[in-house]
Structure formats: C-alpha cells, structure tokens
Amino acid sequence: MKPPAISPAFHDVSRQSQAVFRAIMQAMAQPGRTGLLDTGFETPAPLAPGAAAILLTLADFETPLWLDATLSASPATTDYLRFHTGASLVSDPQSAAFALIADAERAPPLTAFSQGTPDYPDRSTTLVFQVGSLDGQDWRLAGPGIKGETVFGVSPLPAGFMQQLQENNACAPLGVDVLFASQTRIAAIPRSTRIMEAR
C-alpha cells in the first residue's frame, strides 16, 4: 500500500522554502544574474537538487507539473516530486503550470507550453531547465531589471534557443518565463527580457 523509499527534502520546510522563494524572486527580478539555491538534500537521479529546490518551493497540489521524457521515465523522480509537492503530473504541456526539463538539448519548443491568455497572462507555464552551467557569455540581455545590458549564457540548450527566447519576448505579455537551475544555482529569463547575440 505504501510507496517505496522516498528521500527527505527540506528539513525545515518554511525557512528553506522561503529562502529558495527569495532566490527565485531575485532571479526573476534581475534576469541573467545568478543566485544560490538552498540544496542541502539529496534527490533521486536524474533530478538535480537545484531544480528540485525550485519545484519543492513553487509547486503544490494546485499546480499541474509536466516532466520531460528523461524525468518521467524515472519512477524514483516522479514518486519524489509527487510526494513532496503534491502536484499532479500531466502529459499535456499546455495544461502545466510548471514544466521541468532535465534533458535540455531535447526540450520541446517554448510554444508547446501554455502561453497564458490576454486576460490572464499569468496562467502561462513556468519552465525550469536543469542545466550544467550558468556561466556562459553567449547572450546580451536587456529589459526590466537590467541596468543597461548584461552578459549571460547557459549550457546545454537546444539549437536555436536564443531565437525561441526572442520570439517569446515578442509575444509579451503572453509567453512563458524560463528558470535555469544548475546543481546549486539559479538564473532566469522572464518573457520581458530582450536577448541579443553577444558582441
């Protein structure tokens, strides 16, 4: 009757999730700037602690969660997320409040996810990319929360991702917001950010 062994997540839920929430908020407020995530816990592979911390903080039973093929093929991961967040796992990316992508190179296009509606642009999907590095210098970012321009880059990512982000920005206020999580760090590119190739 009981699910198999599930490893513990936050040991002090309210404080730790507040700290992670703060990190997410800072990342969204200052696109392209990286912040630290509280990740003092283990996660079942292929789920990484950084991305897990974000979902443990944001997802709950009212936020349908979409997982990419790599993650959904791991019962340990789906059990872990279902147990700790209470979120229902959905196969239709359009109905997801959050999406978690572990195999970033094979991520579906951003337009596969909910873009929100003109009355409720906040109803779009928030994507979390589990990536290796946040220290690239491929892009220049500009827009709200950025003084002038900032240089930023993520790897790995699918080919042509910058163009996808540009198109996403062009649709604002509709469109998705994208969070990137390495093992322990976070950065974001919300739909309001303009992206250009680095000089």
Partner 1 sequence: MRICAQATEAELTQALADFGAIPQVEDVRSPEEGLVMLRGRIGGDGAAFNAGEATVTRAVIRLEDGTLGYSYLLGRSRTKARLAAIIDALGQNEDRRAQLRTCLIEPVTQRRSAETKARNEETAATRVNFFTVVRGED
Partner 2 sequence: MYVAVKGGEAAIEAAHKLLAKERRGDASVLELTTDQIREQLSLAVNRVMSEGSLYDPDLAALAIKQARGDLIEAIFLARAYRTTLPRFGYSEPANTSAMAIRRRISATYKDLPGGQVLGPTFDYTHRLLDPSLAGEGNFPAVEKTETGDAEVSPHVAALLNNEGLIEENLPQNPDADVSDLTRGALEFPADRDLRLQALARGDEGFLLALGYSTQLGFGRTHPFAGEIRMGEVEVSFVPEELGFEVPLGEVTLTECEMVTQFAGSADAAPQFTRGYGLVFGHSERKAMAMALVDRSLRTAEFGEDVVAPAQDAEFVLSHADNIQATGFVEHLKLPHYVDFQAELVLLRQLRAEWEAERGKTDGASPKEAAE
Which residues are near partner 2 by CB under 8 A?
Answer: 1, 3, 60-62, 82-83, 86, 88
Binding partner at 88 among partner 2, partner 1, none, C-beta below 5 to 8 Å by kind: partner 2
Residues of span 63-92 touching partner 1 by CB under 8 A: 83-84
- Residue 34: which of 147, 154, 187 has the closest Cα? 187
**C-alpha–C-alpha distance, residues 26 and 145, integer Å:** 10
Q: Which of 167, 140, 142, 137 is nearest to 155 (CA)?
A: 137
Out of partner 1, partner 2, none, what residue 12 binds, judged by CB under 5 to 8 A for its kind, is partner 1
Q: What angle do CA 40, 41, 47 make, to 5 degrees?
A: 120
Taking the complex as a whole, the smallest distance from the CB of residue 14 to partner 2 amounts, in Å, to 9
CA atoms of 35 and 92, how far apart (whole Å): 31
**Residue 62 interacts with partner 1 (CB under 8 A)?**
no
Does position 185 interact with partner 1 (CB under 8 A)? The reply is no
Residues at the site binding partner 1, with contacts judged by CB under 8 A: 2-3, 5-14, 83-84
